[in-house]
Amino acid sequence: MDTCRTPANTSKCSGNTMECFMVLSTQAQKISIGILCGLFGTMCVFENSLVLYLIFSSPGIRKKPSYLFIGSLALADILASIIFVCSFVNFHVFNEAGFSKEVFLLQLGGVNTSFSASLSSLLLTALDRYISISRPSEYKLLMTRRRAWTALGVLWVTCATIACLPLLGWNCCVLDSSCSELFPFVDDNYLSGWLCFVVVLLGCIIYAYAHVLWRARQHVAYMEKHQAQVGKQNTRMRMDVMLAKTLAMVLAVLVFCWSPVLALMTYSVFARLSDRLRKVFAFCSILCLLNSMVNPVIYALRSKELFSSLRRVFSRFRRQLGAAEESPEAESNHKSSVIE
The domains located in the chain, with CATH, are 24-227+235-309 (1.20.1070.10)
pLDDT for 159 equals 93
Helix/strand/coil (H/E/C) assignment for every residue in 7-43: CCCCCCCCCCCHHHHCCCCCHHHHHHHHHHHHHHHHH
Are 288 and 35 contacting, i.e. CB atoms less than 8 angstroms apart? no
d(C-alpha 102, C-alpha 108), whole Å:
10
d(C-alpha 234, C-alpha 226), whole Å:
9
d(C-alpha 95, C-alpha 287), whole Å:
21
CA 248 from centroid of its chain's CA atoms:
15
User: Of 306, 269, 291, which Cα lies nearest the Cα of 76?
Assistant: 291
pLDDT for 43 equals 92
* 35 CB-near residues (< 8 Å, 6+ apart): none
**What mean pLDDT comes out for the span 66-81?**
90
pLDDT at 10 over 50: no
| Residues in a beta bridge with 187 | 179
* 47 CB-near residues (< 8 Å, 6+ apart): 293, 296, 297
Instruction: Please return the burial class of 131, using the count of CB atoms within 10 Å of its CB with bins 0-12, 13-18 and 19+.
Output: middle
Per residue in 243-286, pLDDT (tens digit) is 667 767 777 887 888 889 889 988 888 888 888 888 888 888 88
Residue 160: pLDDT band (50, 70, 90) is very high
DSSP state of 93: T
pLDDT for 11 equals 39
Residue 336: pLDDT band (50, 70, 90) is very low
Residue 297: pLDDT band (50, 70, 90) is confident
pLDDT for 309 equals 83
Are 104 and 143 contacting, i.e. CB atoms less than 8 angstroms apart? no
Identify which has the larger pLDDT, 30 or 326: 30
Cα dihedral angle (24, 28, 29, 30), rounded to 10 degrees? 70
**What average pLDDT does the structure give for the chain?**
79
The radius of gyration of the chain's CA atoms, rounded to the nearest angstrom, is 24
pLDDT at 15 over 60: no
Identify which has the larger pLDDT, 233 or 48: 48
d(C-alpha 59, C-alpha 305), whole Å:
12
User: Of 304, 2, 34, which Cα lies nearest the Cα of 166?
Assistant: 2
